[in-house]
């Protein structure tokens, strides 16, 4: 059996993940008029309004009135931006997600005008963030913003210039930010809008994807995961609900559990200033992550994470990708939780997946499809295929079909 060719080798070093710096937020105010489209003036909903930056920038801890040091300070942003809040899309842990429209100020009369650019606005109450923050909730808006700001700096260094967030999102398969706003009551995370919904919704509509469709989606998912690995990050909450579809491509969202992967050479400031390198080249320097928090959704958590063991940031993200592929191909989750007490987990992850699926009359998968599932879902991360080994698997050489075009 092939072993994971990317897993850190002895001597394995265990370290806590490096902390990311306190992210910066732009203060905003809400207005309800002075917005127009080509047909004339429009008025925003009195319930939602238009978010307009005021130019004041504060660290997250000070903006949310958390305990801060005396050195915290404010600054002024050079950017001027505004967003029209439209219809509600769905609920979130700390608030609500809305569909929005990006606005631009008219150079003629200074009135805010609609553009054709859409966005998603996650609106969260500071009160909710503070109350859940003390209950060991896995989701952390501060970490989500810090990770997204880190990624923005990393991709600027890689590209040598700033690339529009919507373009970077499609190139990398990772959600990017437009703005992070705050006022006295709310925190707002504003991102490009993903028009195709999430993969969980798509799967419910289609029951399950064909092998050709699943292969197309997996290729896209691996692209996003590769960019996270290059940046030295692990997502830790990969699931069909956290993979959006936009213009026929997949996009990872919800970075609130993501961590910076520790390396042997980590020094103070490494997490603050992303270096222009590919962290995949440093496998021998990669450390296991020391964390007692079992990150992720119940059915997607890797067993080493579920058991509160030190884990490898790359291997622990490959596990839920295998779970997602199983769900795409069959239409249901492989198990309820990755624990030995779960019969399906114990047998599937122990090497009996092919035999069990072969004898299941409602499932009709090719031998290569069942083989790649087995190799992605071994309980021991040393036996689990790495990202590149998945790409090299024979099943990946088959035809692809974009399910969003059907």
- Which of 134, 162, 192 is a domain's end point? 192
Residue 148 has a pLDDT of: 97
Residue (of 189, 100, 118) closest to 148 by Cα position = 189
Within this chain, do residues 153 and 182 fall inside the same structural domain, yes or no? yes
- 127, 158, 192 — which closes off a domain? 192
Tell me, yes or no, whether 167 and 36 share the same domain.
Answer: yes
Residues linked to residue 181 through DSSP beta bridges, in sequence order: 26, 188
- At 107, the pLDDT band (50, 70, 90 cuts) reads confident
Does residue 202 share a domain with residue 343? yes
Among 72, 42, 45, 28, which residue's Cα sits nearest to residue 179?
28
For the ranges 199-213, 297-311, 320-334, the one whose mean pLDDT is highest: 320-334
- Look at residue 67 in the predicted model and tell me its pLDDT: 63
| 177 and 77 in a common domain | yes
Q: Is residue 3 part of a domain?
A: no
Residues 79 and 175 in one domain: yes
Over residues 114-172, the pLDDT tens digits come to: 899 999 999 999 999 988 765 666 789 999 999 999 999 999 988 888 999 999 999 99
pLDDT score at 32: 80
258 and 151 in one domain? Answer: no
Domain residues for the domain of 75 are 24-192
CA–CA gap between residue 273 and residue 44 (Å, rounded): 40
What pLDDT score does 136 carry? 61
Contact predicate 403/206, CB 8 Å = yes
Residue 7 lies in a domain: no
Q: What is the pLDDT of residues 312-353, one digit of tens each?
A: 999 999 999 999 999 999 999 999 999 999 999 999 999 999
Residue 177: band (very low, low, confident or very high) from pLDDT cuts 50, 70, 90: very high
pLDDT in tens, 264-291: 876 555 555 556 578 887 777 899 999 8
Q: Are 127 and 216 members of one domain?
A: no
**Domain-embedded: residue 171:** yes
The answer on 283 and 220 residing in a single domain is yes
Residue appearing with tokens 């859940």: 132
Q: What is the number of domains present in the chain?
A: 2
Residue 22 is predicted with a pLDDT of 94
pLDDT at 223 over 90: yes
pLDDT computed for residue 31 by the predictor: 87
- Whether 205 is in a domain gets the answer yes
Whether 126 maps to a domain, the answer reads: yes
CATH number at residue 175: 3.30.200.20
Domain stops at, among 192, 226, 251:
192
Say yes or no: 187 and 200 in one domain. Answer: no
Same domain? For 215 and 159 the reply is no
Task: Indicate the range of 67-76, 174-183, 301-310, 377-386 predicted with least confidence.
Answer: 67-76
Residues 244, 332, single domain; the answer is yes
155 lies in the same domain as 234: no
Residue 34, domain member (yes or no): yes
């Amino acid at each position: 059996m092939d072993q994971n060719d990317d897993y850190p080798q002895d001597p394995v070093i265990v370290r806590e993940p490096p902390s990311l710096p306190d992210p910066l937020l732009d203060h905003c105010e809400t207005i309800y008029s002075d917005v127009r489209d080509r047909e004339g003036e429009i008025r925003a909903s009195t319930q939602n309004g238009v978010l307009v930056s005021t130019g004041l920038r504060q660290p997250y801890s000070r903006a949310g009135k958390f305990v801060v040091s005396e050195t915290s300070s404010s600054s002024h942003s050079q950017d001027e931006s505004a967003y029209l809040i439209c219809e509600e899309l769905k609920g979130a842990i700390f608030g609500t997600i809305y569909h929005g429209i990006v606005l631009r100020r008219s150079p003629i009369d200074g009135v805010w005008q609609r553009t054709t650019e859409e966005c998603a606005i996650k609106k969260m109450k500071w009160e909710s963030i503070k109350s859940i923050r003390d209950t060991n909730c896995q989701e952390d808006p501060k970490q989500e913003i810090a990770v997204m700001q880190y990624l923005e700096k990393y991709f600027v260094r890689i590209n040598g210039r700033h690339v529009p967030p919507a373009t970077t999102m499609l190139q990398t398969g990772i959600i990017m930010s437009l703005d992070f706003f705050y006022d006295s009551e709310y925190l707002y995370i504003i991102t490009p809008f993903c028009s195709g919904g999430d993969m969980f919704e798509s799967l419910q509509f289609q029951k399950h994807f064909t092998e050709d469709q699943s292969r197309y989606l997996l290729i896209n998912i691996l692209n996003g995961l590769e960019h996270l690995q290059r940046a030295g990050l692990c997502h830790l909450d990969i699931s069909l609900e956290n993979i959006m579809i936009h213009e026929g491509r997949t996009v990872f969202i919800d970075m609130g559990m993501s961590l910076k992967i520790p390396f042997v050479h980590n020094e103070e400031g490494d997490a603050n200033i992303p270096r222009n390198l590919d962290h995949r080249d440093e496998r021998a320097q990669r450390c296991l992550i020391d964390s007692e928090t079992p990150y992720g959704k119940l059915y997607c958590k890797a067993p080493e994470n579920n058991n509160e063991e030190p884990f490898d940031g790359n291997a622990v993200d490959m596990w839920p990708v295998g779970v997602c592929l199983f769900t795409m191909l069959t239409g249901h989750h492989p198990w309820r939780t990755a624990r030995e007490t779960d019969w399906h987990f114990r047998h599937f992850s122990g090497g009996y997946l092919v035999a069990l699926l072969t004898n299941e009359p409602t499932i009709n998968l090719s031998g290569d499809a069942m083989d790649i599932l087995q190799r992605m879902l071994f309980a021991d991360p040393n036996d689990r295929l790495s990202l590149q080994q998945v790409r090299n698997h024979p099943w990946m050489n088959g035809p692809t079909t974009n399910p969003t075009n059907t």
